[in-house]
Amino acid sequence: MPSRRVPAYRRHKPSGQAVVTLDDHDFYLGKWNSAASRHEYDRLTGEWLANGRRLPATLDERTTSIAVLLAAYWKHARSYYVKNGKPTDHQHAIRAALRRLRLRYARKAVTEVGPLALKALQEQMIEEGRARKYINDQMACIKRVFKWGVAQELVPPEVFHALAAVPGLAKGRSQAKEMDPIRPVSEIDFEATIPFLSPVLQAMVQFQRLTGCRPMEVRLIRPCDIDRSKDVWCYRPEEHKTEHHGHERHIFIGPKAQTIIKPWLLRPHDSFCFSPRESVKDEGTGLTAADQQGRVGQSRPNARKQFYTKDSYCRAITRACKRADVPQWSPNQLRHAAATEIRSRFGLEAAQTVLGHRNADVTQVYAERDLATAARVMGEVG
């Protein structure tokens, strides 16, 4: 029976290099005990294992190196994934994927990175305990790098086509862990947390719970973004998640949510309704010592910002949950809570419309009908 051991990382004394023997072939990895040689060892043994403990076929053609491809793509990504002059969150995911590819394959030619290489990276992330969705997202990002390289004539088309054949990890068909689904926050936990938030944050979470808007949409709301000409107001965010697909976003504000946001509209039309500066100010005025200790606003450094960031909004709610001694919940759970209520009362289509979920094949006629439905729903719910 063949041994299940992985060939050892060894020192070649005459040359001072690290070496590993695979299929009776010695592979010199670089300086002994260096980080580069360790990465090369991981790469070679990972591909060897992924190929059934056999060496993959060697490609003799030498073209663009992976290091050159990654540098070119990162330059493109830094200018492409930008909104309003600022990097988008997607840049962080791209950076992680490029770094993972660079550590293993930087000195290889693009023609030497094939399906087995991607499978080896998948296995590496599974061993790290990464979630299946994260692994699939990282693999999709790496494939986009090679697809972009084809368009720039840095990568032969057949290389990308081979990588595209590697499927994503299917649910229940791999050892990768599954992420816990986002559950709606319970009304009991939600109401228990409210007293431990500053007035600014109280209004934010209540508005989000009533309208089902995304965390970003409540953080960036301004008076000029709200059409108050009808009984049910319409908030059209200047920025939203699917604007790069050409979609418009309509968030309808019913009577209950109007009551929540009205006091925060008395400011310059182009300023942000919910400011960390006011949250900090509230902590120091008109509150008892117990109130000041219990209520959660915003830390002093972030008080300089004109609006809450994604992280500062989440942190404020997390601190409030701890002080209220309730299970921790996030802003996205408010959106799920609103969706659950709307779906139970008005059906799936109404929930998809109110939350701004759209399919690529939705026609303009259906969009108009859906907007009327959303306005009617929020007239009763929000």
Q: Does residue 95 share a domain with residue 243?
A: no
Q: Does residue 156 share a domain with residue 211?
A: no
Encode pLDDT of 112-168 as tens digits. 899 999 999 999 999 999 999 999 999 999 999 999 999 988 899 999 999 999 999
Is the residue at 145 inside a domain?
yes
- What is the predicted pLDDT for the residue at 297? 42
Q: Does residue 300 share a domain with residue 228?
A: yes
Domain count of the chain? Answer: 2
Q: Does residue 159 share a domain with residue 38?
A: yes
Q: Does residue 368 share a domain with residue 271?
A: yes
Residue 154 belongs to what domain range? Answer: 10-164
**Final residue belonging to a domain, choices 164, 199, 231:** 164
CA-based nearest residue to 159, from 115, 207, 216: 115
For residue 120, give both structure tokens: 């080896």
Q: Does residue 318 share a domain with residue 191?
A: yes
Is the residue at 175 inside a domain?
no
Number of neighbours of residue 326 by Cβ within 10 angstroms: 18
Q: Does residue 160 share a domain with residue 22?
A: yes
Average pLDDT estimate for 67-82 = 90
Is the residue at 44 inside a domain?
yes
**Final residue belonging to a domain, choices 131, 164, 197:** 164
CB within 8 A of 160, min separation 6: which ones? 143, 146, 147, 149, 150
Q: How far is CA 207 from the centre of its chain?
A: 23
Looking at residue 134, its amino acid is Y
Q: Does 382 score more than 80 pLDDT?
A: no
Q: Report the alpha-carbon distance of residue 35 to residue 222 in Å, rounded.
A: 50
CA-based nearest residue to 382, from 345, 348, 357: 345
Q: Report the alpha-carbon distance of residue 223 to residue 275 in Å, rounded.
A: 13
State what percent of residues in the chain have pLDDT above 90.
43
Compute φ and ψ for 228, nearest 5 degrees: -105, 25
Q: Does residue 372 share a domain with residue 226?
A: yes
If 0-12 CB within 10 Å is exposed, 13-18 middle and 19+ buried, where does residue 70 land? buried
Is the residue at 196 inside a domain?
yes
Among 125-134, 162-171, 258-267, 355-364, the minimum mean pLDDT is found in: 355-364
| CATH number of the structural domain spanning residue 279 | 1.10.443.10
- What is the predicted pLDDT for the residue at 3? 58
- What is the predicted pLDDT for the residue at 68? 85
For residue 210, give both structure tokens: 């009533």
Q: Does residue 375 share a domain with residue 275?
A: yes
Q: Report the alpha-carbon distance of residue 97 to residue 108 in Å, rounded.
A: 17
CA-based nearest residue to 238, from 88, 83, 350, 90: 83
If 0-12 CB within 10 Å is exposed, 13-18 middle and 19+ buried, where does residue 287 land? middle
Is the residue at 244 inside a domain?
yes
Is the residue at 181 inside a domain?
no
- What is the predicted pLDDT for the residue at 314? 92
Identify the band that residue 313 occupies on the pLDDT scale cut at 50, 70 and 90: very high
Encode pLDDT of 34-53 as tens digits. 888 898 899 889 888 887 88
Identify the band that residue 88 occupies on the pLDDT scale cut at 50, 70 and 90: confident
More confidently predicted of 181 and 96: 96
For residue 372, give both structure tokens: 């009327």
The rounded mean pLDDT for the chain is: 81
Prediction pTM value:
0.61
Q: In Å, how far are 196, 281, 309 from 305, measured between CA atoms?
A: 22, 13, 9
Q: Report the alpha-carbon distance of residue 125 to residue 18 in Å, rounded.
A: 25
Identify the band that residue 329 occupies on the pLDDT scale cut at 50, 70 and 90: very high
- What is the predicted pLDDT for the residue at 217? 92
Is the residue at 254 inside a domain?
yes
Q: Does residue 155 share a domain with residue 233?
A: no
Identify the band that residue 62 occupies on the pLDDT scale cut at 50, 70 and 90: very low
- What is the predicted pLDDT for the residue at 372? 63
Q: Does 369 score more than 50 pLDDT?
A: no
More confidently predicted of 332 and 284: 332
Q: Report the alpha-carbon distance of residue 236 to residue 219 in Å, rounded.
A: 13
Q: Report the alpha-carbon distance of residue 354 to residue 213 in Å, rounded.
A: 8
Average pLDDT estimate for 297-307 = 54
Is residue 275 within 8 A of residue 222, CB to CB? The reply is no
Q: Does residue 145 share a domain with residue 104?
A: yes
CA-based nearest residue to 241, from 348, 378, 355: 355
Q: Does residue 97 share a domain with residue 227?
A: no
Q: Report the alpha-carbon distance of residue 258 to residue 265 in Å, rounded.
A: 10
**Final residue belonging to a domain, choices 133, 164, 195:** 164
| CATH number of the structural domain spanning residue 138 | 1.10.150.130
More confidently predicted of 284 and 322: 322
Q: Report the alpha-carbon distance of residue 329 to residue 355 in Å, rounded.
A: 19
Is the residue at 140 inside a domain?
yes
84: left (phi over 0), alpha (psi -120 to 50) or beta: left
Encode pLDDT of 89-102 as tens digits. 789 899 999 999 98
362: left (phi over 0), alpha (psi -120 to 50) or beta: beta
Q: Report the alpha-carbon distance of residue 120 to residue 51 in Å, rounded.
A: 9
More confidently predicted of 345 and 94: 94
Is residue 174 within 8 A of residue 133, CB to CB? The reply is no
> 179-201 in b/e burial notation, b at 16+ Cβ within 10 A?
eeeeebbeeeebeebeebbbbbb
- What is the predicted pLDDT for the residue at 136? 95
Average pLDDT estimate for 360-381 = 54
Is residue 65 within 8 A of residue 22, CB to CB? The reply is no
